[in-house]
Amino acid sequence: MKLESALRQPRAQAAASDLGPVVSFFEFWPGWAFYGPIAAYWIGLGLRYGSFSLPTAANPNITLGGLCGESKRSILDQVGAAQQCMLARYTAIVTHGSDPRADLAAAEAAIATAGFTYPIVAKPDIGCNGTGVRLVADQADLLRYLDAFPRNEGLLLQEFIHHDGEAGLFYIREPGERSGRLTSITLKYPPRVIGDGRSTLRELILADPRAGQVPHLYLPRLTRRLHEIPLRGEHVRLVFVGNHCKGSIFRNGIELATPALTARIDTLAQSMPEFHFGRIDVRFESTQALARGEGFHVIEINGAGSEATHVWDPSTRLRDAWRAQFFHYDAAFRIGAANRTRGFHPARLTMMWRDWRRQKRLMAAYPLND
């Protein structure tokens, strides 16, 4: 399948204005303004439970519980053999030396062994917020990506799932409970602008009611194309990675948390040793199939550092967004406390600081995302 057709979107995902409110009044606040009360709540929970790092015990088999600095591949590797078919196929390499062509040979050998081919998704093994994630079309594209990737660092190579839909499913299972539950579902839509045959891509972005408010998320990535004039009616996708801080549009899809989907995700989560709390990101065929627990592949599993991202639906009220954040962090501390009672110890704050600093340093070195 050619890259262009692989990225074709259904009409239902045409533009932000087709999907309801364009922005919420707090959506583009500075991070400190939105997360200030959440940080205060975290401190309060730390005082209550006697540990500020207790969420690192929520998923004891993941580095820092998945709060930061964890390997994406190591988490995927924990999925049970019978459930591996639910994952997009993947492999990983570590970049070496100064010649990216040697890394290219290693990457293509690993991809062939894993049984998939171009286009593929390349992403850092350690990272968050979609930083460094690229859709790679062919060998030349992969070579350019490897050339820009930092040396001696892990790189995940993943099968591109040719489904239009993407969603984040938040899963919680208390220690000792027989089954878990889905507490948040976020449907992710790629932002697009539609050509008029006269305006440049830059002008279309700046004139768009949503993209025009955050042009800094799109313009640096599209520098080489900003002078182009899309044809009348041509849809131009602005970002590939399904992450809000990279410019994707999020909608609350909690109505899809059917018993069938919950049971399917529960089967996956319980195949992983001591996985209790986190977001499972999927690409899916249709919302109807997803509600039946069918037609999807998991592309990433995140732990204690993940967010219930439905809060970035522009129709969400601020108090409801904060309430959802409080609910999920309360669950992370509660599960961490239960696991501490079972003999699992939270990480030291010095370890959290060290791994967070390393992750920040790596993220600054990764190539621009798609």
List C-alpha distances in Å: 48 to 42, 44, 51, 338. Answer: 10, 6, 8, 14
State the pLDDT at residue 13.
Answer: 42
Rounded to an integer, the average pLDDT of 48-65 is: 97
Rounded to an integer, the average pLDDT of 266-291 is: 97
Confidence of residue 19 (pLDDT cuts 50, 70, 90): low
Structure confidence by residue, pLDDT tens digits, 141-172 = 999 999 999 999 999 999 999 998 999 999 99
Could you tell me which residues are beta bridge partners of residue 281?
Answer: 168, 300
Q: How many residues does the chain have?
A: 370
In this structure, what are the phi and psi dihedrals at residue 209, rounded to the nearest 5 degrees?
-60, -25
Distance of alpha carbon 332 from alpha carbon 340, whole angstroms = 12
User: Which architecture, in CATH terms, is 31-189+248-365?
Assistant: 2-Layer Sandwich (3.30)
Rounded to an integer, the average pLDDT of 206-212 is: 92
**More confidently predicted of 15 and 249:** 249
Contact 182, 262 (CB under 8 A): yes
**More confidently predicted of 315 and 3:** 315
Q: What percent of the chain is modeled with pLDDT above 70?
A: 94
State the pLDDT at residue 20.
Answer: 59
Does position 119 have pLDDT exceeding 60, yes or no? Answer: yes
Within 269-323, strands assigned E span: 277-284, 296-302
Among 74-88, 94-108, 320-334, which stretch is predicted with the lowest mean pLDDT? 94-108
In this structure, what are the phi and psi dihedrals at residue 250, rounded to the nearest 5 degrees?
-110, 140
- The SS3 of residue 46 is helix
Question: Nearest-CA neighbor of 278 among 329, 339, 337, 352?
Answer: 329
List C-alpha distances in Å: 69 to 31, 59, 63, 125. Answer: 20, 14, 7, 9
**More confidently predicted of 213 and 172:** 172
Structure confidence by residue, pLDDT tens digits, 252-262 = 999 999 999 99
State the pLDDT at residue 7.
Answer: 34
Does position 44 have pLDDT exceeding 90, yes or no? Answer: yes
Tokens 């639910």 belong to 86
**More confidently predicted of 344 and 20:** 344
Rounded to an integer, the average pLDDT of 113-132 is: 94
Rounded to an integer, the average pLDDT of 37-55 is: 97
Does position 227 have pLDDT exceeding 50, yes or no? Answer: yes
State the pLDDT at residue 270.
Answer: 98
Structure confidence by residue, pLDDT tens digits, 69-100 = 999 999 999 999 999 999 999 999 999 878 89
Rounded to an integer, the average pLDDT of 89-115 is: 94
Rounded to an integer, the average pLDDT of 45-61 is: 98
Question: Nearest-CA neighbor of 79 among 219, 265, 212?
Answer: 265
Among 89-93, 219-223, 239-243, which stretch is predicted with the lowest mean pLDDT? 239-243
